Structure 1
Amino acid sequence: MTDDDTRAAPVSRAMPLTAATGATVSERTARPAPARDDGLHPDAIEAVMAANHGDPFAILGPHEVAPGQWEVRAVLPEARAASVLVGEQRHDMVRRHPGGFFVAAFASERRPDYRIAIEGWDNLERTRRDPYEFGTTLDAEEIRLLRDVGNDAVQRVLGGQAITVGGVSGFRFAVWAPNARRVSVVGDFNAWDGRRHPMRLWQDGGIWELFIPDLPAGTNYKFEIRGPDGSLLPLKADPVAFAAQHPPETASKLVGRPQPVWRDGAWMAGRGSLDHRHGPISIYEVHLGSWARVPEEGNRYLTYRELAQRLIPYVKEMGFTHIELLPITEHPFDGSWGYQPVSLFAPTSRFGSPEDFCEFVNAAHEAGIGILLDWVPGHFPLDAHGFGQFDGTHLYEHADPRQGFHQDWGTYIYNFGRTEVSAFLAANARFWLEDYHLDGLRVDAVASMLYLDYSRRAGEWIPNRYGGNENLEAIDFLRKTNEATYSHAPGTMTVAEESTSWPGVSHPTYTGGLGFGFKWNMGWMHDTLQFISKEPVHRRYHHHDLTFGLLYAFSENFILPLSHDEVVHGKGSLIGKMPGDRWQKFANLRAYFGFMWGHPGKKLLFMGGEFGQEREWNHNQSLDWHLLDDPLHAGLKALVGDLNRLYVATPALHARDTEAAGFRWLVADDAENSVIAWARLGREPGQVAVVVSNFTPIPRHGYRIGVPAPGLYREAINSDAAAYGGSNVGNYGGVATSDEPSHGQPCSLTLSLPPLGTVILVLEG
């Protein structure tokens, strides 16, 4: 009997599952009536013992070989002897193959309810349920939904799901491997032996399935797959594993779909009514492994629970509204910073368990802080236990390297045109927002997904069906994913890291946009960092770097990012980019932060920038917190906290971040003095803030600036204040307008502009 002879599509007798974790499957599902079986061909036994049989349920488990005559067959290589226990009766099993194929034959009027007793080589007897006595726990509709982009069937159906079948608890394994000849579950529980737990194939959908009773949570497992050519592949981690071993170990761990104890009911109840476009968003970007460590304990990481106790209060103190986590989806290589993940449904074990991560989220929400996750749907690493060549074919990735291989990063590119792949990724996006209560996803490297010729020369890419360079399948995937997340997780946000001029990235899909909530403003970051890095004497020739971004500032819903990308790969630190002596470096950075917080657009700052980390970021080291003993570093930190609090409390600085009507130029053309000024307007009359930056080391007294409304303007921020380490040149807490028009405005202020400083003045009500 060959493999092709024995691979048969199962007949579904399952009741639909309403929930994957803790789901219960009916007794009818657990005890299906078997087909009549008139005996075993020796070739079939050989195929099973060689782990080369495509339909194990046709051979293993209970079989009625004649009316009232039953055989129970099992692969038990660990057994010295075995027997079948039916009630009080014991039926000895006969070894039919030296490798451990056992058969018990006995009479029974009905399908037996049995256990297998195994006498090991240690002479101890152990009993267990037989996985092959249970019927399928899936149905055709669930299989169909795995191809529905935007549905959450992936996390309900695939992976290692904790379920109860006919009153028996265990784990149901399901994995997509349509081209495999055979798939087995291997792990700690079966000595990683692929002969012991081969799976059943649903041919319509290519899903392999097996329920294994009585497995304990925490068990390590993988899939052993024989490819279509019969070759044995490297053991594969579960693509839908909900937990994984601590790297460098690579196994998946059985925990079932997360069922945390949530304490964030008030946060979640109010999340759906959030209006992010018109609200304050100030994001603290964090790499959990290097924010802080425990040097006295071998420089170990802080755990999720320790981070909840230390990071969350710090972010609250600093006034940030959100934390953005560099990817914490499980990844093999520390040096990838999480951007080459393998287990997309598993929070990394580096910092603790899934339950520990939930406690981190609880703590953030209880403190009123949202959590964003860097999410990586564009590519995946070549690690042997990962997605690549998963079933012996290019399943998740394109076969042609011109489409399926990323030359810059040495990674595979997902095949977005395969609906199962797009559905898998879109379901993962929903999973983090719904199952883990995260508040948004920052989608990595969107430009690399949108363009078929991204970082490729002529002849290294394949045009789309219209001859263009747009990746039509990726565009469709991104739109459907954004629609699904905003539909099923209202109040969350998606943010695109997109570095080109692609139109409508943050516009709704019904207008032809990609449907993201926000887009990183990479052009603003590049231009303004280029400007502030110049010596002040040269800045007059680069004034356009400050003003150019306002030509397109309202074309998208922008976030202004000073991210980790600006402090790695030889770029140094933010403070290191500043020109001048030590005092001037800090003054420049303080002025730049004031300029940034006053500029239209939401804010993002990578950790360490808030206190002037001096060395380039190193993912293997803690931030240099001892620098806060220095008054200049402490002053910079104090400024960032005050900027955040002012930004949140002042509607003029955030309510119309994405609207041209909320911005008014006051001084755009004083390149000679490197002075720039504008007004920010809120949604209500009288909500006015004025932002003025002097990017030279020369104080400017008596500088007149027109303003749009009369009254007293409180000096809410002065980056040159002594409390921040500055020279304390300022305006004595506030300035009243005069009736003299200026700069096209009906009235004006006469200001003292501090050297290398930014002042933000707010109209008093």
Structure 2
Amino acid sequence: MREIPILIKPGDADALAAGRHSDPFAVLGPHPANGGVVLRSFQPQAVEVFVLTGDTPIAMTRVHPDGVFAARLPEGGTDGYRLRVICPDGMIEEIDDPYRFPPQLGPLDIHLLVEGTHMRLYQILGAHPRTIDDIEGVLFSVWAPNAERVSVVGDFNSWDGRRHPMRLRHDAGVWELFLPGLGHSTIYKYEIVARGGVMLPLKADPCGTWAERSPKTASKVWSQPKWQWSDADWMQNRQRHNDRYSPVSIYEVHLGSWRRNPGDGNRPLTYLEMADELVDYVVEMGFTHVEFLPVHEHPFGGSWGYQPVGLFAPTSRYGSPDDFRVLIERLHQRGIGVIIDWVSAHFPSDPHGLHWFDGTHLYEHQDPRLGVHRDWNTLIYNFGRTEVMNYLCANALYWLEEFHVDGLRVDAVASMLYLDYSRDPGDWLPNRFGGNENLEAIDFLRRMNQLVYAEHPGAVTIAEESTAWPMVSRPVHLGGLGFGFKWNMGWMHDTLDYFSKDPIHRRYHHDDLTFAQLYAYHENFVLPLSHDEVVHGKGSLIGRMPGDDWQRFANLRAYFGFMWMQPGKKLLFMGGEFAQEREWNVDSSLDWHLLDSPRHRGVSRLVADLNRLYRTEAALYQLDNDQRGFAWIDCNDRDNSVLSWLRLGVDPHDCIVVVGSFTPVVREGYRIGVPESGFYREILNTDSEWYGGSNVHNNGGVEAEDIPWHGHSWSILLRLPPLSVSVFKRDG
């Protein structure tokens, strides 16, 4: 025992065995000592440990009863060494020593992390396969600047945080450790000891790119070869599919409840199954894009993904990250863009997540008046912290770069913009100027949008913003927030309220359909009928339509016709396209059997035809966000609940005439003005028998008459079907 003080200081041995040493690399591994080397290793599961170097194994001395071993070796005696660990059950394991490797994060990475400008931090932080000195393993790195100790734990070390404590890079607050021998699908978490020796709940990796399937919560190492994409044609040309001059019709999908497999326990479809079934369906229905409710890993399925813990990990509920890539690639190959809901407004307080990550309010505000959403019982990111802004901006780029996502729909933007969002007086703190604007969140959103459009031309960002905040979809250099589009929540509320009313009362609510034109060109709008409108007791879209069964379906068809013929990009939540009767349930499939009913099948046919018409007629999309693309013919016939308008393309002769009649009566001899002479062909009628309607029509079209009307030199005499939208185009 006389050699023990030379091999290790008693205090160091006690600290290692107790898992409270502040600098394990200063003790473990090889260290020069009196012309030789002292090698130390902590192996609490071992009865014996040998150093394998040269021809003869060298036995290490147990210098602490809890498993600290040490050996003195000649200078150079540790070159290329390994450790042989013998366990009580006789099992022998030969391993490479993690504590022989020097620091791995380079000075540039450290500098960019500290500066908050490391836009590829996901390539540095997290778990990454590495080969160092011809030894394969995984490099783990995590930001936890206020922790006393951080360890990597998993099955590989019996979840014992004493065995693999990490090295702290003090200048960045980042802990790192290369663990040889680990690889693909290794399950791991971080064991973090906060200040004062407080042990925190095990934490999932904030930058983990794969996770265990819920309800399990550990991170997993992803070490498959880099995906070789086969969607080059789409990526090179996607800008013309995503910009405001193009047709954009979005099918909003919750992956877990779109369709289930009744023959296999009613489980959700996998990403790979979706790559066949969903892709074919979206193409058949004529949509241009799909938008997935959040695909980030999330612990609670009932949050629909809007309370994510693993921002960098596609949820394992439906398969692997590469399986998700297959789905995206298949959509791109069929000409369909992919948008994901991206959640930066809040995160849950689950113990394995970001909350109180290193024993401090690292990601969230300390003051609950800034850091807690009362409505959702979730936490708010501290957007003013450089590292947090960097983390979120890098995550936005990650999905665009690593998964070829075409767009990010940013959830709950209003809750980010206002410090008093859904708060009572006294429960919020004003900004430095005394106002209610969240200046730090504004800076973050602008920064994020600038990066997305600079780094990934052709991608798009969309804001779900429910207030009158100005210039949401205007460039940052002009004072805007920099989004490409904004959901038009006002249009949705007004029109849904109108179509939910009994037609006899609609004359008193005529302005609900016309009001949006007063602000329609202040932003680049998407017209959304989203998941939020078919949950929480609101009922389905068809369930909110008034009247008997015939009238309900006619109303819904008329509503869709009105929506597709109005300026603005389109978004429809799954199930609405075939008149799902039930309110959406996250835990069950859509009711696909309804397509056996002629009326439901008729609604489906209408939506498909609306999408095809929308995509082929430039007047319906070219000037969506420009006043030149729309003109009322007559917006004042409230007594008959009839509206008529023009949709116009860049070519002024490219003109579509639309008439909506929103009472259940046939109107004979209804005259409207038109801009030119000629034959106006009826190109769509929501009352067609093909869609389940009563088939009142205009015999294919009408000839314009030299009778001035509605300020035009010509007019056409129409037969208006009940509860309908009729669409005409001038031949030639």
Structure 1 length normalisation: TM-score? 0.94
Corresponding position of 2:407: 440
Q: Is the 8 A contact 1:146 1:424 kept in 2?
A: no
SS in 1 for 2:256: helix
Instruction: Give, in whole Å, the separation in 2 of the partners of 1:352 and 1:635.
Output: 34
1:188 shift after superposition:
1.4
2: CA distance, partners of 1:147 / 1:379: 23
Point out the more displaced range, 107-116 or 754-763. Answer: 107-116
Q: Where do residues 227-376 of structure 1 align in structure 2 (5 Å cutoff)?
A: 227-256=194-223, 259-272=226-239, 274=241, 276-376=243-343
Structure 1 counterpart SS, 2:244: helix
Gaps of 5+ in 2: none
**Residues 600-636 of structure 1: CA deviation (Å, up to 9, x unaligned):** 0000000000000001000000000000000000000
Query: Secondary structure of 1:381's match?
Result: coil
For 1:57, the aligned partner's letter is F
Q: CA deviation at 1:109?
A: 3.8
Determine whether 1:393 maps to 2:393: no
Report if the CA contact (8 A) 1:199-1:209 is conserved: yes
**Residue 75 of structure 2 is aligned to residue 108 of structure 1:** yes
Counterpart in the other structure of 2:15: 47
1:703 aligned residue (667, 670, 680): 670
Instruction: Name the aligned partner's letter for residue 282 of structure 1.
Output: S
Quote the offset at 1:172 in angstroms: 0.7
The one-letter code sitting in structure 1 at the alignment partner of 2:336 is I
What secondary structure is seen at the aligned counterpart in 2 of 1:408? Answer: coil
Equivalent residues in 2 for 1:442-521, closer than 5 Å: 442-521=409-488
Residue 139 of structure 1 and its aligned partner are, at CA, apart by 1.9
- Does the CA contact (< 8 Å) of 1:486 and 1:493 recur in 2? yes
Other structure's SS at 1:288 match: coil
Kindly state the Cα deviation for residue 257 of structure 1 after the two structures are TM-superposed. 8.4
The CA deviation at 1:737 is: 1.5
**CA positional deviation for 1:535:** 0.4
Question: In 1, are the aligned partners of 2:130 and 2:139 still within 8 Å (CA)?
Answer: yes
Which of 323, 343, 348 aligns to 1:381? It is 348
User: How far apart are the structure 1 equivalents of 2:133 and 2:179?
Assistant: 13
Measure the CA separation in 1 of the matches of 2:91 and 2:196: 40
What SS is found at the alignment partner of 1:627? helix
2:571 aligned residue (593, 604, 623): 604
Deviates more, 1:252-261 or 1:393-402: 252-261
Per the TM alignment, residue 258 of structure 1 is displaced from its structure 2 partner at its CA by 7.7
3-state SS, counterpart of residue 473 of structure 1: helix
The answer as to 2:642 corresponding to 1:675 is: yes
Correspondence for 1:29: none
- Please state if 1:573 is matched with 2:537: no
Give the AA of the match of 1:594.
G
3-state secondary structure, aligned to 2:469: coil
Does residue 66 of structure 1 match 2:34?
Answer: yes
Deviates more, 1:713-722 or 1:436-445: 713-722
Aligned partner of residue 310 in structure 1, secondary structure: helix
- Give distance in 2, aligned partners of 1:438 and 1:245: 23
Superposition pairs of residues 561-710 of structure 1, within 5 angstroms: 561-710=528-677
CA contact (8 A) 1:175 1:208 kept: yes
Q: By how many angstroms is 1:273 displaced?
A: 5.1
Q: Which moved more, 1:652-661 or 1:702-711?
A: 702-711
How far does residue 291 in structure 1 lie from its aligned partner after superposition?
A: 0.4
1:710 to 1:72, Cα distance in 2 relative to 1, 3 A:
farther
CA contact (8 A) 1:73 1:103 kept: yes
Q: 1:89 offset after TM fit, Å?
A: 2.7
CA contact (8 A) 2:113 2:121 kept: yes
* Post-superposition offset of 1:735: 1.9
The amino acid across from 1:711 in the alignment is G
Aligned pairs for 1:155-170 (under 5 A) are: 155-170=122-137
1:251-287 residue CA offsets vs partner (Å, 9 max, x unmatched):
0000048822311111112224556100000000000
Residue 144 (structure 1) aligned with residue 111 (structure 2)? yes
How far residue 166 of structure 1 moved from its aligned partner, in angstroms, is: 2.0
- When the two structures are aligned, how many residues end up with a matched partner? 728
Please say which of residues 727-736 and 580-589 is displaced more in the overlay: 727-736
Q: Distance in 2 between matches of 1:569 and 1:668?
A: 34
Deviates more, 1:103-112 or 1:663-672: 103-112
Q: Which residue of 2 aligns with 1:11?
A: none
RMSD of aligned residue pairs (Cα, Å): 1.3
Seen in structure 2, the aligned counterparts of structure 1 residues 274 and 605 have a Cα distance that, compared at 3 Å, is: closer
1: CA distance, partners of 2:423 / 2:585: 30
1:76 maps to a residue whose letter is Q
Q: Secondary structure at the match of 1:485?
A: helix
Say if 1:198 and 1:476 are closer, same or farther in 2 by CA, change over 3 A: same
Secondary structure (helix, strand or coil) at the match of 2:436 reads coil
Separation (CA, whole Å) in 1 of partners of 2:133 and 2:610: 60
Worse-superposed segment, 687-696 or 746-755: 746-755
- Deviation string 1:449-500 (CA, Å, 9 cap, x unpaired) is 0000000111100000000000000000000000001111111110000000
The structure-2 alpha-carbon separation of the partners of 1:150 and 1:663, relative to structure 1 and needing over 3 Å to count, comes to farther
Amino acid at match of 1:358: R
Aligned residue type for 2:271? Y
Segments of structure 1 that go 5 or more residues without pairing to the other structure are 1-36
1:148 Cα deviation (Å)? 5.0
- 2:195 partner letter: P
Q: Please list the CA deviations of residues 112-152 of structure 1 after superposition, one character each: whole Å capped at 9, or x if unmatched.
A: 22000111222122111111000111122212222555642
Structure 1 range deviating more: 83-92 or 553-562: 83-92
Instruction: Name 1:76's counterpart in structure 2.
Output: 43
Instruction: Provide the residue aligned with 1:9 in structure 2.
Output: none
The verdict on how the C-alpha distance between 1:479 and 1:148 changes in structure 2, with shifts beyond 3 A counting, is farther
Aligned partner of 1:349: which letter?
S
Contact 1:150–1:480 (Cα < 8 Å) also in 2: no
CA positional deviation for 1:110: 6.2
Q: Deviations over 1:96-121 (max 9, x none)?
A: 11111111222134652200011122
CA contact (8 A) 1:171 1:212 kept: yes
Q: Which residue of 2 aligns with 1:4?
A: none
